[in-house]
Structure formats: C-alpha cells, structure tokens
Amino acid sequence: MSDTLFKPLQLGRHTLRHRIAMAPLTRSRAGQPGNIPTSINVEYYRQRASAALIVTEATQVSQQGQGYAWTPGIHTPEQVEGWRSVSEAVHTEGGTIFLQLWHVGRVSHPVFQPGGGLPVAPSAMPVPGKTFVVDEAGKGVWADVPVPQALTREGIAEIVGDFRAAARNAMTAGMDGVEIHAGNGYLLDQFINSSSNRRSDEYGGSIENRARLLLEIVDAVSAEVGAHNVGVRLTPMGRFMGMGDDTPEQTFGYIAERLNERALAYLHLVEPAIVGTVKDEQYDPRWDTIIKLMRERFEGVLMLAGGYTPDSAKQALEGGRADIIAFGRAFIANPDLPRRLREERPLNEPDASTFFGGGETGYIDYPPIAA
C-alpha cells in the first residue's frame, strides 16, 4: 500500500501515526442497567487501538438524548468510570481516542425519555424512520418514531449545558478529545436542515439561525475542554431520517466558514454513499461541489468517511480531498486494519446480522492476522 495512508498528521495536540481513523459505529452493547461501558467494550476498543484516531460510538449527553437500546451515555458517574476503562486500554496500546457526543432529538421513543415523554425536536413534525427498542421478551426490535414535541428556548439552553457537561465528563474519563455529532439526521442536523426545522424564532428560518444551536454547542464545549480538543461531524446532503436542505451549498458553506474561525481539531464529513448502514445509489451529485467548497472554507484537518476502500482512500488523500479517512465496517471486521492495509493483506468481511446488539460474537471475535 502506498505511503500516502501512512504519513503522520498533526491533529490538535496529537501527532497521529498515519491517516486511517476508526469511524464512530453504534454497536448497541452497553451494559445494563445504566448504559455503562463494560469489559467487552474495553476489549473492543483495545483491539482497534492501532487506528490513527478512534472516534467512539455515538454517546448520549443526557437521558433525553438516547434514541436506541443499549447505547452508552456520558452523563452519570458510572458511565464516566466505564469510559475511563476504555480510554486507559486504548492508551496502553498507544492509541488516541475521541468520544462522540450525541443527542438524537426526534429519533427516539417515549421508552427512553424521562417520564415517558415525547422526544424533542426543532419542530413537531412526523419522522420518516424507526428506532431500536427492547420488547417484552428483552429482544431488540424496530419501532416507529412518534411525532416529537418542539423544543422551547429553555429546553435548547439545557441541551447546550448537557453537551458542555458531557464534554467535561469525557475528558474526566481520560478521552483525548470529543467529537460533536451534528449529522445523520440527529438533533443538530435537524436544526441545520430546512426540511426538519420550521421554527420562526432565532433558531429557525435563515441559515444563520438554523446553524445557531450547533455553533452555541461548539462554543460551549470549546470553552470547557479547549477548541483544539474538539471535532465536529456533519453529513451535508444526507437523507437519513428525512433530512434535506433547500440551499445545501449556502448552508454548509456558511457552517464551514464559522467552524473555521474556531480553530477546532478537525471537521469530519460523511460522504453520501451510505444512508444509515446501506449503500445509497441515488445521492445528489451536488455533493462533490459541496465537499470541495467546505474543503476550501475550512482550513484545518478534514476527515472523510463513507464507503471508502483502500484505493479510494489513497486517491482522496493524494488528491487533497481529505487529510484523514475514517473506516467503519472495515474496522468492525478487521481490528488490525492499518496493518492489513500496510501489508496489503486480505480483509475479513463483517457480519451485518451482529452489527447491533448481542455479545462477543461479531464484536470482539474477528481474528487479526498472524504475527
């Protein structure tokens, strides 16, 4: 494999050994009760510590922020201690790890919400999607998402505080930084996109208003842990969970400019080739224009994810499209992915039936190549 993937990279205060990152991957295996990382999660991340950077699975900043069964949180002392064990294991192996901060917004269900209430969103609109809940038999099943309740200004302010506290908790847990999840149809993406934001106050309408919550959270988190320890993930042109924007070039170009002013560790963009966990054959061709626009306007480290192969990753780096490439499913099945790519070894194929929920099978039992 070309040396392109294996050049060191300065990311915030960290010197990464190469350009192969591990993308955030929801696996729904947090310990119960309490959504707490356990020994199986520690082993999973330890096995993959040769990644240049691990971005953890999406981790809810509050109970209100949960939308799927068995996903971890970072808002209780027990969760902080669980994640501390993860970070210590990764660091022992010489790895670097950022924790992804998550609020699902409307993509939730009353079973997860405090007091059994409705999920929250920019606007009370039907949601074209399902979420993952536990049935009476204790099995994970897909359930319809109800029409959410629109957030009040007070509710928005509380969420900004939740992100700030979660970032502090992540650093207390020994993480090297945090990534703010502002894509994939979840809360911050719901505010950004015109299709899901019908507000008439200062958080809706204009591009500036729809980007306001993201930037308030970026500023709050940066004030708490330092901007050089903060990344942001966006999914321009993404259609997952009903997303869509009337003027995506202007919207995401504006956001890239504003984020560029904040001296973040990196910006993480998801290519539109993947919608959820499946390949999208109908993505908008404007994406290529948008990514080049954002690359121009954001002068820091740019990470890309979404259906990359070793060859396409090499091409993206050599062409200046990105500075680092995040692999998802390849890391699920290949804990030693960087070595496999360097030595041009065959890759294991992931078993999609074990992606969400379960135990060790399909999680920590994928074999590395022999020493």
- Catalytic residues, by residue number, are 186
The closest of 67, 133, 132, 126 to 102, measured between CA atoms, is 67
Residues 99, 235, 16, CA angle at the centre, nearest 5°? 45
Beta-carbon neighbour count of residue 184 at 10 Å? 24
Rounded to a whole number of angstroms, the distance between the first and last alpha carbons of the chain is 19
Helices marked H in 298-342 — which ranges? Answer: 310-318, 329-333, 337-342
Amino acid identity for residue 347 in this structure: L
Write the single-letter amino acid at 310.
Answer: P
Measured torsion, CA atoms of residues 118, 120, 124, 125, in degrees rounded to the nearest 10:
-90
Strands 54-55 and 97-102: parallel
CA distances from 233 to 5, 98, 188, 270, 314 (A): 21, 12, 10, 8, 21
Residue 189 to residue 179: CA distance in whole angstroms: 14
3-state secondary structure of 288: helix
The label of the residue with tokens 């998801």 reads 270
Pairwise CA distance, residues 325 & 287, whole Å: 17
CB 101 within 8 A of CB 181: yes
What radius of gyration do the chain's Cα atoms show? 19
Q: Is 292 within 8 Å of 326 (Cβ atoms)?
A: no
Six-digit token string for 3 = 């040396």
